[in-house]
Amino acid sequence: MNKLSTAGTFSLGDRTVTRIGYGAMQLAGPGVFGPPKDRAAALAVLREAVASGVDHIDTSDFYGPHITNQLIREALHPYPQQLTIVTKVGAVRGDDASWLPAQSPAELTQAVHDNLRNLGVEVLDVVNLRVMLDAYKPSEGSIEAQFSALAELQQRGLIRHLGISNATAAQVQEARGIAKVVCVQNHYNLAHRGDDALIDALGRDGIAYVPFFPLGGFSPLQSDSLSSIAHELGVTPMQVALAWLLARAPNILLIPGTSSVAHLRENLAAAELSLSDDVLAALDRIGQKAG
């Protein structure tokens, strides 16, 4: 049993994964654009993650673009049988590194084929639709056409499982009416608690919730409070934030990202960090503090 097993497991469709995975976004260059500054270091992080027991990697072909998936293939192909690679579609990168919607059925189909080619697989384990009605936060609006296009690709055997990202609760429900949803990936952390009800509802239905930006959106006061608690525990603020997420709900899967082996090891160590009831209560109060 590896140390990550301490955090338990959860299902992504017919795949069972440990609850701490790895997010590959930071392996590309600055601004998630272009090649990494140190290609050998990026490959080393991927190999260390899998060697440490990570069996769930989050990526996208618009990271780079193409760079991150190509790194994953170079580092890990042929992939271990237990490794689940989750990707996302719905955006492309402009020449100026901008993030542009790519949501038509033709664009989504092209994105799936780009992911297949760059990852070197015949079937994608999980594909998340990144909703781009607002690139930076969930925004209401129908996603029927987009999700139906991915459901058709699933029926053709190119995708095993579907998920949705940057989505509202209504969009999650709409997607579930089209095809089975195995995961929802949104911005959520100690200080950003808008999806509390959605997490609990998904958990009751056996659907994974995958939060990103574990330390994103904190006010200075909230950051100071978290740092103080981390100092008392003798760990890093990121480790506390990750451990709180693990304690928050059993259907939460983590995908902390880094381009450093040392930082990767710190993040994965959060699996073994047990937080007392008093500490959890103090952490919950952080989300209630005004910015």
Please give the positions annotated as active site: 63
Q: What is the spatial distance between Cα 263 and Cα 229, in angstroms, rounded to a whole number?
A: 19
Q: What is the spatial distance between Cα 116 and Cα 70, in angstroms, rounded to a whole number?
A: 11
Per-residue DSSP letters for 148-204? HHHHHHHHTTSEEEEEEES--HHHHHHHHTTS-EEEEEEE-BTTB-TTHHHHHHHHH
Distances (CA, A) of 246 to 8, 86, 108, 167, 179: 9, 19, 32, 21, 27
Q: What is the spatial distance between Cα 89 and Cα 87, in angstroms, rounded to a whole number?
A: 7
Q: What is the spatial distance between Cα 220 and Cα 44, in angstroms, rounded to a whole number?
A: 34
Retrieve residue 285's tokens: 């109060």
CB of 233 closer than 8 Å to CB of 279: yes
Retrieve residue 87's tokens: 């990707």
Q: What is the spatial distance between Cα 61 and Cα 93, in angstroms, rounded to a whole number?
A: 10
CB of 58 closer than 8 Å to CB of 21: yes
Q: What is the spatial distance between Cα 129 and Cα 125, in angstroms, rounded to a whole number?
A: 13
Nearest residue to 59 via CA among 33, 86, 83, 78: 86
